[in-house]
Amino acid sequence: MRKAVKFIAWFVTLALAGLYFLSAPDPLPAAKIPAYSVDIKNGETMYHAGGCASCHAAPGSAEGATDKTKKCDDPRSKNKMVLSGGRCLKTKFGKFIVPNISPHKTAGIGSWTKLEFVNAMLRGISPGGQHYYPVFPYTSYHQMAIEDVLDLKSYMDTLPPSNTTNKSHDLEFPYSVRRFIGLWKWLKFEAAKPGSRKDIGESLAERGRYLVRGPGHCGQCHTPRDALGGLLSKLTLSGAPNASGKGWVPNITSHKSGLKAWSENQIADLLATGLTPEFDSIGGDMVAVQENMKEIGASNRAAIAHYLKSLKPIEGIKRPPGKKK
């Protein structure tokens, strides 16, 4: 009997040690940062492609007061150049409050080194060595070329600083324990080898694939997730329930419930104007995405359209039935 207790104690200790080890952050070393002279203009394109402002700009309207502007989940942004944070993202895991990533030295990320910024974007690790929640879409950004990440930082350093103080997330246990994200990463996230721009390729399809899967992080909304919030890769971009509220995010593969009937030009036009081929307007969170995509240039929009049309049709999971009339 005592032997059994001892055995169990040893087993539990070893298991905990193993889990502790598995949940440890795994940052990139400084040697991975190449000598490279940054291109701020490309950084600006990455800023819009990455949709940084959609989450990190303060919620509310540039136009001012309605009741709605007082809400932390207003889908609009007060000023897309001031990344003061404060937006809340209500998910089934709890309420996340988006942090200040303006270049303010203390309230924002102005004092970060290149390496710290790269580790945040590609590994989801903070300068203090803590895991970020994957609500910050590093599970897409990790596919970005390291030069693009450095360009992005150089552009963000030129934006206005904000002294807004960060607020804590409001999460349920066990999601409130950051160390557990390490286990989540072990199960659900395999960080890409840090890629260089020359690895990506220059064809329209390769450029589109890169923009969609890397900076554009389209799958964060258009791909469904499993119970632990991991993206279901077999159903990539085939539509999903809205993770931060009611409604459904559409299928954007070439399936008939998706973009089968759309031409590449029509997709690129939607990204430029927010209008469907029928001249219906887009709505919801896609509006903020489209306003960013408007800024990335026609060739990048064409690349995205081309890549999406090249995707195999995937039926996707069934939507809950609406009321029949």
* H or E segment to which residue 288 belongs: helix 286-293
Check residue 275 for interaction with other proteins (CB under 8 A). Answer: yes
Check residue 278 for interaction with other proteins (CB under 8 A). Answer: yes
| The one among 13, 158, 273, 299 contacting other proteins by CB under 8 A | 273
Size of the site for other proteins (CB under 8 A): 30
Residue type, 302: A
Check residue 272 for interaction with other proteins (CB under 8 A). Answer: no
Sole window of 27-35, 74-82, 111-119, 301-309 interacting with other proteins (rule: CB under 8 A): 74-82
Check residue 314 for interaction with other proteins (CB under 8 A). Answer: no
CB neighbour list of residue 211: distance below 8 Å, 6 or more residues apart: 49, 296, 300, 303, 304, 307
Q: In angstroms, give the least distance from the CB of 278 to other proteins.
A: 6
Check residue 265 for interaction with other proteins (CB under 8 A). Answer: no
Check residue 279 for interaction with other proteins (CB under 8 A). Answer: yes
Sole window of 20-28, 30-38, 41-49, 277-285 interacting with other proteins (rule: CB under 8 A): 277-285
Nearer to other proteins, 166 or 290 (CB): 290
Residue type, 260: K
Check if the beta carbon of residue 313 is closer than 8 Å to that of residue 254.
yes
| The one among 288, 303, 304, 308 contacting other proteins by CB under 8 A | 288
* DSSP state letters, 155-221: HHTTSPP--PPP---EE-TTTT-THHHHHHHHHH--PPPPB-GGGT--SHHHHHHHHHHTTT-THHH
Sole window of 93-101, 165-173, 204-212, 272-280 interacting with other proteins (rule: CB under 8 A): 272-280
Check residue 295 for interaction with other proteins (CB under 8 A). Answer: no
List the helix and strand counts (H, then E) for the chain: 12, 5
Check if the beta carbon of residue 85 is closer than 8 Å to that of residue 59.
no
| The one among 27, 43, 75, 108 contacting other proteins by CB under 8 A | 75
| C-alpha 176: how far from chain center | 20
Nearer to other proteins, 198 or 323 (CB): 323
Q: Three-state SS for 74?
A: coil
Check residue 202 for interaction with other proteins (CB under 8 A). Answer: no
204, with CB counted inside 10 A (0-12, 13-18, 19+), is middle
Q: In 10 A of CB 34, how many CB atoms?
A: 10
- Calpha distance 29→34 (Å, rounded): 11
Nearer to other proteins, 74 or 157 (CB): 74
Check residue 280 for interaction with other proteins (CB under 8 A). Answer: yes
Check residue 29 for interaction with other proteins (CB under 8 A). Answer: no
Copy the structure tokens of residue 61: 């309207």
Nearer to other proteins, 154 or 251 (CB): 251
Copy the structure tokens of residue 150: 């450095």
Q: In angstroms, give the least distance from the CB of 34 to other proteins.
A: 40
| The one among 94, 127, 230, 284 contacting other proteins by CB under 8 A | 284
Check residue 128 for interaction with other proteins (CB under 8 A). Answer: no
| The one among 6, 247, 263, 298 contacting other proteins by CB under 8 A | 247
Check if the beta carbon of residue 13 is closer than 8 Å to that of residue 124.
no
Q: 51-70: which residues touch other proteins (CB under 8 A)?
A: 66-68
* Residue 75: C-alpha distances to residues 6, 134, 162, 257, 297 (Å): 56, 20, 20, 26, 23
Contact residues toward other proteins (CB under 8 A) are 66-68, 74-76, 245-248, 250, 257, 273-275, 278-284, 287-288, 290, 319, 322-325
